Structures are given as structure tokens and as C-alpha cells.
A = this chain, B = another copy of it.
Amino acid sequence: MAVLLNSQLGGDPEDPHSPYNDELIFSKGHASPLLYAMLRAVGAISEEELLTYRRAGSRLEGHPTPRLPWVKVATGSLGQGLPVAVGLALTAATLDRLPIRVWVLCGDSELSEGSMWEAFAHAGYTHLDRLTAIIDVNRLGQRGPTPLGWDTAAYAERIGAFGWHTIEIDGHDLDQIEDAYAEAVATSGRPTAILARTVKGRGVPEIEDRNGFHGKPVPHPQPAIERLGGVRHLQVMLPRPVPERPPHRFPDGELDLPRWDIGEQVATRAAFGAALVALGTARGDVVALDGEVSDSTRTGMFEQAHPERFFQFFIAEQQMLAAAIGMQARGWLPYAATFAAFLTRAHDFIRMASISRASMCLVGSHAGVEIGQDGPSQMGLEDLAMMRALHGSTVLYPCDANQTAKLVAAMADGNGIRYLRTTRGATPVIYGPNDEFPIGGSRVLRYSEADEVTLVGAGVTVHQALRAADQLAGDGIPARVIDLYSIKPVDVDTLLAAARDTGRLVTVEDHRPEGGLGDAVCEAVAGAMRPPMIRRLAVRDMPASATPTEQLRAAGLDADTIAASARDLVWR
């Protein structure tokens, strides 16, 4: 890192968000003291701040986070920095079109993570020759030796097979390091991996190359500092980047959302695809990311309309999410879509995205048992729980095409991680194209002052709830119906009013009973002075293959079951 600072890294420490700065990512986030020492050396932080490391209120956390402005993305869950760096390099090369370089410091242990190989594969496939991975092969993981030890040749063979240029060096030889960086910079058409054989704790005999000292302070720091050359106050002046051209931008235009007539049958995933095309025309910063299912999620429509802003990651959901994190870190607005079920594959990346304060949109299609015959492996049944539990997330679940279009546009203006859940099959359009659906709102679809029970649904279950209300009306039970399209934030006022007015709620969701709409409703009304009685309908068994209609009935989410639950509450 000293050599990198001295000979390669370009950037303006006083303007950490400049698009012309080179990017440096610590994929081995636990090496944070080294990163902070570098920031001290370039004058970004003071000696005093350096000594606040890991203390309450400090920007210098145990693992780097964007609490410190020179840290663009949080690391600390291993195997994520390289995939995110691939996203940064891809963004710089294809969207910003700026000749910056992306440097990543990786550990050898984290090469066991499959996500690293998704990154090697994608960087090789896209020829990211401005990306350099520096792999610290110190042979010792947290609890013992790594599988390959110091066999840098084995690493080189693997990484080389994925289309990378590789260089093996002694990671303590400054000349070899300098030469390797120069070779990396001179390599075109391929990214470069520098496999640096190092000795963990080198220069401090009591810990050097010894197991059991990972993540621990040096036992006797004073003699160690002296052995390593004593206290120094090195200052490095980075070369300030000289911009040749501004970052490339795509033009903005008018927002002309698609419109559907009431009564049409349209899948919300199709409405999402059409709306994303319109949004992409209106906003040049919108990009779409696919995990090899664009024909199913309907991001394929965006690919047709805006091919330069469409990114294919094949079946590598972790790399797709990491790239989205990288893209938003450079100011773009990603919409990354796959089946809701397969977003679980990238859960740890989504979790780290929230720690990175990432601003991005995720779309999960094929939600719930409604998908029908393909069976449970393809059903998103836990996605609401996963997305709701993220810090600062927004969770949306539309029931018709016009509502979907409005939410696709609204989520563009939000913060944090916004999640849209779409449905495979067609549902009737029940809203007009001029209706508005603010995030945090809901729609009361049936209402009277005499309502005795409230049915709360979202997505496919809204339509079942409406039919259940018709049945209940036939029994002389007036029922309120709420379309809770915004699961988080949730419309507490409308739910509290329904609780107060009707005293009885039936929640219906095409999702597991835990963590989704039912829990959101319960939380919302938990503060009521007179809390309501609540019945929660959700997918409680393990579904198999069946038609969508059979699935909804088998799971107890159909109009008959909703009406029966409501009657039971009213007549108990």
C-alpha cells in the first residue's frame, strides 16, 4: 500500500467524491488500520483522529464504512470488495467513460468465497483492464492455514483461467511491487491480479507467521515499533487527477409512464418492465441489472430500449448486487432484478449495501405461491422478511399495472434500498393511470362507517380481499378493504383508523407468516390504545406444483378463506 500511494494512486484527498479519483477498495476490511494510516499519510485525517480507532463516535470503525467519506463502500464481510470493485470498474469504463483505475486489496482467505469467482469471471468476461486485484497471500486465516498456503502458482492458474493477467511476487520486495504495478497498468484487455506472498506480522518476531494473532493487538507494541523503524510521520502528496473530459452522461427526457385501462389483465412484472423503460427515457442515470432472467422479470424491455445502460451478470446474483452497489457509489441509479426467491442468494450483499448507505432499487419477481406449477424453489416466500429487516429499506408490493408504474417512478426518488415485489400472473387493473401512490401510503378500496372488519392485503391478495368483501356484504357484514402497497414504511394512520373503527383485522399475504405484511400491520397497530383482534393469513405449509388458483386456495389466501376468517372474527 505504501508503494501504491507513492507511485500509482491518483486522487484528491480534499474531494473524496470526485469522479476523477482512482478507486481503492479494501476487500479485506479487517485491514482497516492500514487504510486509516494511508488516509493519515495523504493528509485526509489527523493524527488525533487516527487514535480514535474503534471508539464510540469515531469515523474510524473496526471495518471501513462510508461514515468516513473516503470510504465509498463498507467492507468487512469477506469476498465482497472485489465484486464491488468490478462494479466500480465497469461503471467507470462503460457509464462514466473515465480512465480511472480501480485497486483492490484482497485477502487470500477470502478467495474461498464463491463471490470472488463470480467477480473474477465477470471482470475477465468484460475485459476490465483498469482493475487490479492485489492479493495478500499471507497463508494464515483467522483460525489457521488457508487451503493453498503460499502456493501463489495455484492461485495464478485459477485466476488466469478466468481471463486475468497474473503476477506472482514477494510482497515484501518494494521493487517487485513497483514493477508489478507498472505491469498491471501496462496490461490491456485483461484485469490483473498481483499475488503477493507475504508473511503475516512480518518484522515482529513474537507474532511473525504465527497462528493465533489474527485481529489482536501486538502484545508488546513499543519494541515492535522500534524494530519496524520507529515512529515516523510520513506524508505523501497524491497526484491530483487532471480531468480530460467530464463523466459521460445519458440525456434526461420527459417521464411518460405507460397507462392501462381499468379492467385490463396485466402482470405487475410486465408493468414494471414497461415503466422502467419510460423511467430510463426520463432519467439518464437509470441503469438495469439482470441475473439471466430478463425475459421473466421483464428487464429485457429495458435492454431493448436502453442497451447501453443494461448489464447482464448471468446467474451470479452476488456479482449483480455488488455491481449495483458499485454503480450507485459512482452516482448511478441501479434497478437490479431477479426472481424474489433468488435475491436471497445475495442477502449478505444487500445487508452490506445498507451499511454502505447504498441508494438503489431491487425488484423481485415471481412472488409467492401465485407462480403456480414451478414449485417452491422458484417462489419468493421470504423476501418481504429479508427486505423489511434491512436498515432504512423501503418495501413496495403493487397489485395492478398502473400502481406498479407509479411506484417504479416513485422509488427512483427515494433513499436507501427500495424493494419492489412483482407478480408472475396477470391481475386486473383496478386503478386509473392518474391515481397517485405515495410511498408510505395505502389505498382504502372499500369503506363505510359501519365496517365491522378490515381486510388488509397487497399484491395478488388485494383482489382476493375485494371478492371476500363482496361475499361478506352478502352476509350483512360490511368490510373495509385496504391495499397496503407500501409494506415499509407502512401507513400507520390508516391502519390505526381501521383498528379503531372495526376492531378486527384480517391480514392476507402471499408470503410466510413471519416478517411480512402481517408483522408490519401488527407493529403498526401495536401502539393503539385499544388494539384490534387480528387474524393473519399467510403461506403456512410447504407448497408443491399446482395452478395459481389452486395454490392460493391451498394456502388459504383465496376469497373464501378470507371471508371465512372475517366471519369468524365478527361472530366469535
Q: Which residue of B lies closest to A303 (CB)?
A: B143
Q: Interface stretch among A199-207, A226-234, A261-269, A368-376?
A: A368-376
- Asked if A315 contacts B523 (CB within 8 A), the reply is no
Q: Which residue of B lies closest to A78 (CB)?
A: B315
Tell me how many chains of this kind the complex includes: 2
Complex: how many Å from CA A357 to CA B29? 36
Give the chain B neighbours of A110 by CB distance below 8 A.
Answer: 315
Complex: how many Å from CA A221 to CA B541? 35
Give the chain B neighbours of A342 by CB distance below 8 A.
Answer: 77, 348
A446 at the interface (CB under 8 A from B): no
Q: How far is the CB of A522 from chain B (nearest CB, A)?
A: 4
Residues A315 and B141 in contact in the complex (CB < 8 Å), given A377-B75, A519-B515, A519-B523: yes
Give the chain B neighbours of A300 by CB distance below 8 A.
Answer: 143
Q: How far is the CB of A511 from chain B (nearest CB, A)?
A: 8
Q: How far is the CB of A302 from chain B (nearest CB, A)?
A: 13
A8 at the interface (CB under 8 A from B): no
- Asked if B161 contacts A157 (CB within 8 A), the reply is yes
- Asked if A545 contacts B296 (CB within 8 A), the reply is no
Which one, B56, B532, B534, contacts A547 given CB within 8 A? B56
- Asked if A62 contacts B373 (CB within 8 A), the reply is yes
- Asked if A109 contacts B314 (CB within 8 A), the reply is yes
Which one, B114, B154, B377, contacts A74 given CB within 8 A? B377
Q: Which residue of B lies closest to A377 (CB)?
A: B76
A344 at the interface (CB under 8 A from B): yes
Which one, B53, B375, B534, contacts A76 given CB within 8 A? B375
Residues A512 and B77 in contact in the complex (CB < 8 Å), given A533-B527, A542-B355: no
- Asked if A348 contacts B351 (CB within 8 A), the reply is no
Interface centre among A290, A292, A300 (most CB of B within 10 A): A292
Which one, B75, B77, B158, B313, contacts A341 given CB within 8 A? B77
A526 at the interface (CB under 8 A from B): yes
Given contact pairs A109-B314, A114-B116, a sample of 17 additional A-B residue pairs in the complex whose CB atoms are under 8 Å apart: A56-B545, A58-B545, A63-B374, A76-B375, A77-B341, A117-B117, A142-B292, A158-B158, A341-B351, A347-B386, A351-B382, A382-B386, A390-B512, A514-B515, A514-B520, A522-B523, A527-B534
